Amino acid sequence: MIRDGFWSMGGYARFVWPCFGAALAVLSWNLWAARRFLAAARRRSVRVMAMAESER
Amino acid sequence: MWTWFYRLASPPFVYRVAATLTPWFLGLAALTIGYGVIDGLAFAPPDYQQGDAFRIIYVHVPAAWLSTFCYTIMAAAGAVALIWRIKVGHAVAAATAPIGASFTLLALVTGSLWGRPMWGTYWAWDPRLTSELILLFLYVGIMSLRPAFDDPARGDRAAALLSVVGVVNVPIIHYSVVWWNSLHQGATVAKLGKPSIAGSMLWPLLSMFVGFMLFYGAVLCIRLRGEVLVRERQAAWVREAVKS
């Protein structure tokens, strides 16, 4: 059961919820950007290996 | 001992360990952050002075802690790389910088949102806030410096040097509330002796601390694998690693 005044946060909703929203955004961005960076590094490595093999 | 040290820092070993640790860190981070958010928002009692606005500490304090922790890790990794010429040190520093910068920004934004109802302003040139802002500038400077050189090795060394010099800002941030008159409140949790916060408010905060640290560990592992692949792309072991 959600306590009374949960959504209004005792009148501080416009400060509390954006903070948690910003935290969610930062956590999500970190995960997304890190995975994207790893995928790009993998693709680059595959490309380098393919170029090295074609030169042989 | 040195043989063990160098083997521990070998890129294939680091790549393998990081891949193994990532799901564990992520899973545990989801559990601890989930508990911290639910307990902190729904069950912890409101503060007798700050009311429900105090709940902002559940994201602000772990973010602020992580901002200085990441910087310390980055500077230590940079120092290890400079002193012992261990390449993985540069990779750890490069992987940590964007994570630390994002948490510094989060600490500043959430602190600002807490400051408005408590101090009546979003921003004040307070010693704690100003030194935290300098930390963000240091992160941005270090991230910009690394790719500014044509030779990546020189970029790594310059970034490591700047991060080592900039580490002087970490104790300044920590002790700014002690050394100068500050609007910012002093230590609550990390006080020697008993923390001045009730247990029902403290547990979710500790859980968020642990969760944010585990999350940092997970993201560091993912980024570190990418950094190692970029730096070792000519090495034979990368062929097997990329195929698997």
Give the residue extent of every domain in chain B: 43-188+196-243
In DSSP notation, A30-53 reads HHHHHHHHHHHHHHHHHHHHHHHH
Residues from chain A that touch B52, judged by Cβ atoms under 8 A, are 5, 9-12, 16
Where do runs of H (alpha helix) occur along chain B?
2-8, 11-38, 57-84, 87-119, 127-145, 152-166, 169-179, 199-231, 236-243
Q: Please give the structure tokens belonging to residue B192.
A: 């020697």
Contact A45 B229 (CB under 8 A): yes
Cα-Cα-Cα-Cα dihedral of B14, B19, B23, B29, to 10°? 30
pTM value is: 0.92
**Distance of alpha carbon B3 from alpha carbon B34, whole angstroms:** 41
Question: What pLDDT was estimated at residue B234?
Answer: 78
Question: What pLDDT was estimated at residue B188?
Answer: 64
Residue A34 lies in a domain: yes
CA atoms within 13 A on the CB side of B145: 20
Residue A12 lies in a domain: no
Mean pLDDT for the stretch of residues B163-176 = 93
Residue A1 lies in a domain: no
Residues from chain A that touch B117, judged by Cβ atoms under 8 A, are 12, 15
Residue A28 lies in a domain: yes
Question: A38 lies in which domain range?
Answer: 18-55
CA distance B209 to chain A (A): 13
Contact B59 A19 (CB under 8 A): yes
Contact B114 A37 (CB under 8 A): no
Question: What pLDDT was estimated at residue B239?
Answer: 79
Residue A46 lies in a domain: yes
Residue A11 lies in a domain: no
Which residue of A6, A15, A45 is in closest CB contact with B116?
A: A15
CA distance A56 to chain B (A): 14
Which residue has better confidence, B239 or B157?
Answer: B157
- CA-nearest residue to B97 within chain A is A30
B221, B11 Cβ separation under 8 angstroms: no
Which residue of A3, A19, A29 is in closest CB contact with B56?
A: A19
**Distance of alpha carbon A23 from alpha carbon B191, whole angstroms:** 25
Domain count, chain A: 1
ipTM of this predicted structure: 0.91
Q: What is the mean pLDDT of chain B?
A: 91
- Dihedral of CA B8/A34/B159/B209: which sign? negative
Tell which residue, B24, B170, B169, B13, has the closest CA to residue B91.
B13
pLDDT tens digit sequence for B45-58: 888 888 889 999 99
Distance from the first to the final alpha carbon of chain A: 68
Quick count: other Cβ atoms within 10 Å of Cβ A4? 8
Phi and psi angles of residue B51, each rounded to the nearest 5 degrees, phi first = 65, -140
pLDDT tens digit sequence for A32-49: 999 999 999 999 888 888
Q: Please give the structure tokens belonging to residue B61.
A: 């304090």
Which residue of B43, B114, B222 is in closest CB contact with A35?
A: B222
Residue A40 lies in a domain: yes
